[in-house]
Amino acid sequence: NAGVTQTPKFRILKIGQSMTLQCTQDMNHNYMYWYRQDPGMGLKLIYYSVGAGITDKGEVPNGYNVSRSTTEDFPLRLELAAPSQTSVYFCASNQLAGLYNEQFFGPGTRLTVL
């Protein structure tokens, strides 16, 4: 199993450009998440999904959109990139079952907006 994979690993965008961060998991997990990590801060939840076709906003959703057409894929879309979106983005998944909630993380995407 590859686990959770993310592409690209690095990207530089100009202000106003758009891009999609890809995330795929092969563990058949229903729950998937996008977090961002800023220097000196804890990871913050951007969007999450509890299954194919179901998504919802997290703590910091402004400037982002997501979709979940399949169990495996959960892409994150930035429409009009801004310098405030410079961050490291992590996709994660789990199979929430009672108290069991181990999360599996992708390797991250380092995004710089200039």
Residues that bind other proteins (CB under 8 A): 31, 33, 35, 40-45, 48, 50, 56, 58, 88, 90, 94, 96, 99-105, 107-108, 110
Q: Which is nearer to other proteins, 54 or 80 (CB)?
A: 54
Does 8 sit behind a cis peptide bond, omega within 30 degrees of 0 on the bond before it? yes
Instruction: State how far the alpha carbon of 109 is from the alpha carbons of 23, 52, 90, in Å.
Output: 10, 23, 7
Q: Which is nearer to other proteins, 48 or 113 (CB)?
A: 48
Q: How far is the CB of 80 from other proteins (least distance, A)?
A: 26
Q: Residues with Cβ < 8 Å from 105, sequence gap 6 or more?
A: 4, 90, 91, 92
Q: Which is nearer to other proteins, 3 or 16 (CB)?
A: 3
